[in-house]
């Protein structure tokens, strides 16, 4: 069964750091691009970041550029999001999502992990 499981969320103070993980199983992880998408409770989905298959190419939304870093470990089938200089408006549920090369979108989603930044 194809599965993505996020972890690492929690409560952190403004200005702090947190690293999210997304454990992948049931598919060849190294063959897929991966995304992070976030959602403030009651609000819409917002794209955060994307990484290519070997980790050599990354892109970010302007709102997180310079503060967040996406990375992956294909040997461990795991995607990461290092979040630094956190702000109250980073509070959200963070989803990881799989992206086939020819999709230009996402096909499989995790259940999300909640990040709360206290001011």
Partner 1 sequence: QTVVTQEPSFSVSPGGTVTLTCGLSSGSVSTSYYPSWYQQIPGQAPRTLIYRTNSRSSGVPDRFSGSILGNKAALTITGAQADDESDYYCVLYMGSGVYVFGDGTKVTVL
Q: According to the binding rule CB under 8 A, does residue 35 interact with partner 1?
A: yes
Q: Are 7 and 18 in contact (CB under 8 A)?
A: no
Residue 88, SS3? helix
Please, what is the minimum distance in Å from the beta carbon of residue 13 to partner 1?
A: 27
Q: According to the binding rule CB under 8 A, does residue 102 interact with partner 1?
A: yes
Supply 7's token pair: 């972890």
Phi, psi of 57 (to 5 degrees): -130, 125
- Segment near partner 1 (CB under 8 A); pick from 20-28, 71-79, 82-90, 98-106: 98-106
Binding site residues, partner 1, CB under 8 A: 35, 37, 44-47, 50, 57-59, 61-62, 95, 97, 102-112
């Amino acid at each position: 069964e194809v599965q993505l499981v996020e972890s690492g969320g929690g409560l952190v103070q403004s200005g702090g750091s947190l690293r999210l993980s997304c454990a992948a199983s049931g598919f060849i992880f190294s063959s897929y691009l991966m995304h992070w998408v976030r959602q403030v409770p009651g609000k819409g989905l917002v794209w955060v970041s994307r990484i290519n298959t070997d980790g050599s190419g990354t892109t970010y939304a302007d709102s997180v550029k310079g503060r967040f870093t996406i990375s992956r470990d294909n040997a461990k089938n795991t995607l990461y999001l290092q979040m630094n200089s956190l702000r109250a408006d980073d509070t959200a549920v963070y989803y990881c999502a799989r992206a086939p090369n020819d999709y230009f979108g996402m096909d499989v989603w995790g259940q999300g992990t909640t990040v709360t930044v206290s001011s």
